[in-house]
Homo-oligomer: A and B are copies of this chain.
Amino acid sequence: MRILFLGDIVGRSGRDALTQRLPALRAGLDLDLVVVNGENASHGFGLAPDMARAFLAAGADAITLGNHAWDRREIIPFLEEEKRVIRPANFPPGTPGAGAVVVEVRGGRRALVMNVMGRLFMDPLDDPFRAVQAELQRHALGRTIQAAILDVHAEASSEKQAFGHSFDGMLSLVIGTHTHVPTADHQILPGGTAYQTDAGMCGDYDSVIGMQKGGAALRFWKKMPGEKLAPAEGEATLCGLYVETDDATGLATRVAPLRQGGRLSQLMP
């Protein structure tokens, strides 16, 4: 399977880059599965239903979220009707929406997409490791599903790497989001799972994690209320990871970063 994962879409700049460029990427790379993290699509905070629809229409097969999942409250009822948008699986029982979805791709193949939130330096939540373990018990990689993707929305590199190693050989891809910076540690772990600590955001990199740099930098110098932060408006770099997997095993055979547009060094799989 040819898979593309793209990190946190930030604001209009990120949304425009995604909807304008994803169709060509999908065709050019002959992709089977596209997953994007949408938690910052709406002015940096949350995801509105119409944005989710636009991402799916442009070629995304599933959309993950994170700590900003509910910043746009309209998404909450929307999750009931659109199962391809998922929120972290380790939100407590009774939370609307789901933390995993199986999507069907070309040739009748099936891919499991999961989302969890880390806990180190983040909110108190249920154990994300056991959440993944529980979900995996419902599937058989290489048999009932041909691929399994996990978006670990987390701050600490140590926790993300602990996911990679804990599930090495059980997932096609473990990829981090949330820091809004792409890491260069993409690799196939010894057990066959593709891994990258953070996909990076899809947004303007002349910014502070996607937000306008002047005000956002001042927050570290001052102890004042300040202006409301707004997304930076320069051209976005689409950031993510391309992975090829073997349908028979669900494991990775190739991994290559993608960085397209905007300020970052350009890289195509």
Which A residues form the contact surface with B (CB < 8 A)?
70-71, 73, 76, 91-96, 119-121, 123-127, 129-130, 155-159, 161-162, 165-166, 179-187, 189-190, 197-198, 200, 205-209, 213-214, 216-217, 219-225, 239, 257, 259, 263-265, 267
- Please measure, in the bound complex, the distance between the C-alpha atom of A172 and the C-alpha atom of B224, giving whole angstroms: 30
Residues of B within 8 A of A123 (CB): 223
Contact A185:B206 (CB < 8 A) given known A91-B223, A179-B157, A221-B166: no
- Please measure, in the bound complex, the distance between the C-alpha atom of A230 and the C-alpha atom of B75, giving whole angstroms: 25
Are the C-beta atoms of A165 and B208 separated by less than 8 Å? yes
Are the C-beta atoms of A161 and B257 separated by less than 8 Å? no
- Distance (Å) between the CB of A228 and the closest chain B CB? 12
Are the C-beta atoms of B184 and A265 separated by less than 8 Å? yes
Are the C-beta atoms of B161 and A92 separated by less than 8 Å? no
Residues of B within 8 A of A179 (CB): 156-157, 197
- Please measure, in the bound complex, the distance between the C-alpha atom of A253 and the C-alpha atom of B264, giving whole angstroms: 15
- Please measure, in the bound complex, the distance between the C-alpha atom of A42 and the C-alpha atom of B217, giving whole angstroms: 29
Are the C-beta atoms of A119 and B130 separated by less than 8 Å? no
Task: Point out the residue from B73, B125, B185, B217 that lies within 8 Å of A162, measured CB to CB.
Answer: B217
Are the C-beta atoms of A209 and B264 separated by less than 8 Å? no
